[in-house]
Amino acid sequence: MRLVIRPDPEAASRYIAEYIVDRINAFAPSADRPFVLGLPTGSSPLLIYRFLIAAYNAGRISFRHVVTFNMDEYIALPRDHPESYHSFMFSNFFQHIDIPASQVHILDGNPPDGDYAAECARYEAAIRGVGGIELFLGGVGSDGHIAFNEPGSSLASRTRIKSLAPETRRANARFFCGDINAVPRMALTVGVATVLDAREVVIVATGASKASAIQQAVEGSVSHMCTLSCLQMHPCSLVVVDEEATLECKVKTVNYFRGVEQTAQQASEMQEKQDGLVHTPPRLHALNTNIAAATAAAEDGELTPDSMSSRISPSPKLKMLSVRSATIPFALMRT
């Protein structure tokens, strides 16, 4: 897991939007080889979607060969309800870009004959049918849940029906005029294992209300009580936060990840000089770097390689850097 810290929600969202733009463009999707993107709903990704729309309007990105899969949908809420996730995605993103409607996949909270199990199986099959998800973007709840995988969810779970925790319903009541009784009690959601199957996972978390979840996921052990912590087991996961979302983290932890980013930035600049390039194609690589440089770059008291379980294998050519404790976008270091 890699943690990227930005000053505020706007900077964090811009970082992720630029990352997605660069990833899609580097992938060079086509009709036969689309870029498969997993997407969330809620307030966390709204700024990201606005930045992506701006990039599309500026001609920097096309979504014509992008296929999307959303994380979840409420059960029994009409599709055209203003707070259904189908309505949310089209009003806040899809209707503003050039993605064909046939390439948009959102779980059906009102399946024929009420067969929710069949709908979940169909969704998993559809993901497999396009070769899996290339990048899954997600948010996180204040209790550490991803998608609607509430505390206690199996880390091996797949797309299924979930009961929504009271805390989640209280948090979402703001979208239903503050009336918690109007918030559905059940939802369909991709599972933890569905998210982990994606080749990359990028999470956005901003605000002090997410600080406890970030602390548990980054500094705690892997636990079904904080499903975000599952990203510790993913080879290419990126968590982008603002300053307030790190309030519960140890100073040593924050300094460590700042140091890792500084080292990766320096390595990227060296690589660009060697290759004579202004910008190299972005890929989220496992990096083989000397963490001692990151340690020296950060403040006193930073976590050591031993305490972060980051043994390293230096690469003399700096082509790729590999760190067990942090996976870094080699050519996508943004200020």
Average pLDDT over residues 89-102: 98
**Catalytic, out of 22, 72, 261, 302:** 72
End-of-domain residue from the set 229, 249, 269:
249
Which range among 36-50, 77-91, 253-267, 294-308 shows the weakest confidence by mean pLDDT?
Answer: 294-308
Q: Is the pLDDT of residue 281 over 90?
A: no
Average pLDDT over residues 62-75: 98
C-beta of residue 303 within 8 angstroms of C-beta of residue 328 = no
What angle is formed at CA 234 by the lines to CA 55 and CA 249, rounded to 5 degrees? 80
Token pair 């980051």: residue: 310
Is position 279 within any domain? yes
Residues 38 and 57 in one domain: yes
Domain residues for 155?
A: 2-249
pLDDT tens-digit map of 33-42: 999 999 999 9
Which range among 217-221, 223-227, 296-300 shows the weakest confidence by mean pLDDT?
Answer: 296-300
Instruction: Give the pLDDT score at 283.
Output: 44
Instruction: Give the pLDDT score at 278.
Output: 52
Tokens for 319, please give them.
């082509």
Helix 46-57 vs helix 9-27: crossing angle, to nearest 10:
50
Residues 158 and 279 in one domain: no
Is position 63 within any domain? yes
- Provide, rounded to the nearest whole percent, the portion of the chain with pLDDT above 90: 77
Q: pLDDT band at residue 289, thresholds of 50, 70 and 90? A: very low
Instruction: Give the pLDDT score at 275.
Output: 80
Is position 257 within any domain? yes
**Catalytic, out of 18, 108, 134, 143:** 143
CB-neighbour burial class of residue 277 (10 A; exposed 0-12, middle 13-18, buried 19+): exposed
pLDDT tens-digit map of 182-195: 999 999 999 999 99
Residues 82 and 103 in one domain: yes
Is position 32 within any domain? yes
Mark whether 150 is an active-site residue.
yes
**Catalytic, out of 150, 197, 242, 261:** 150
Residues 74 and 222 in one domain: yes
pTM: 0.82
Residue whose C-alpha is closest to residue 156's, from 115, 190, 110: 190
End-of-domain residue from the set 189, 214, 249:
249
Instruction: Give the pLDDT score at 265.
Output: 87
C-beta of residue 261 within 8 angstroms of C-beta of residue 302 = no
Residues 206 and 280 in one domain: no
Instruction: Give the pLDDT score at 279.
Output: 52
Mark whether 32 is an active-site residue.
no
Residues 180 and 320 in one domain: no
More confident residue, 122 or 278: 122
Is position 41 within any domain? yes
Q: Is the pLDDT of residue 292 over 50?
A: no
Average pLDDT over residues 18-32: 98
Q: Is the pLDDT of residue 334 over 50?
A: no
Residues 172 and 25 in one domain: yes
Is position 335 within any domain? no
Q: Which DSSP letter does residue 288 get?
A: B
- Provide, rounded to the nearest whole percent, the portion of the chain with pLDDT above 70: 82
Sign for the pseudo-dihedral over CA of 61, 63, 65, 68: positive
Instruction: Give the pLDDT score at 269.
Output: 87
Q: Is the pLDDT of residue 321 over 80?
A: no
Mark whether 143 is an active-site residue.
yes
User: What is the bridge-based pairing of β-strands 160-163 and 66-70?
Assistant: unpaired
Per the DSSP assignment, residues forming a β-bridge with 200 are: 135
> What average pLDDT is seen over the chain?
86
Residues 130 and 260 in one domain: no
pLDDT tens-digit map of 236-280: 999 999 999 999 999 999 999 999 999 988 988 888 888 875 554
Instruction: Give the pLDDT score at 305.
Output: 36
Is position 81 within any domain? yes
Which CATH number characterizes residue 158's domain?
3.40.50.1360
Instruction: Give the pLDDT score at 315.
Output: 38
Distances (CA, A) of 49 to 27, 45, 95, 257, 307: 20, 6, 11, 26, 37
Residues 191 and 320 in one domain: no
How far apart (Å, rounded) are the C-alpha atoms in residues 238 and 193?
A: 17
Residue whose C-alpha is closest to residue 72's, from 177, 1, 162: 162
How far apart (Å, rounded) are the C-alpha atoms in residues 43 and 101?
A: 23
Instruction: Give the pLDDT score at 271.
Output: 85
**Count of the separate structural domains present in the chain:** 2
Distances (CA, A) of 316 to 264, 271, 286, 319, 333: 15, 11, 15, 8, 21
Instruction: Give the pLDDT score at 237.
Output: 97
End-of-domain residue from the set 249, 272, 305:
249
**Catalytic, out of 86, 145, 234, 285:** 145
Instruction: Give the pLDDT score at 282.
Output: 46
Residues 200 and 238 in one domain: yes
Mark whether 108 is an active-site residue.
no
Instruction: Give the pLDDT score at 191.
Output: 98
Q: Is the pLDDT of residue 155 over 80?
A: yes
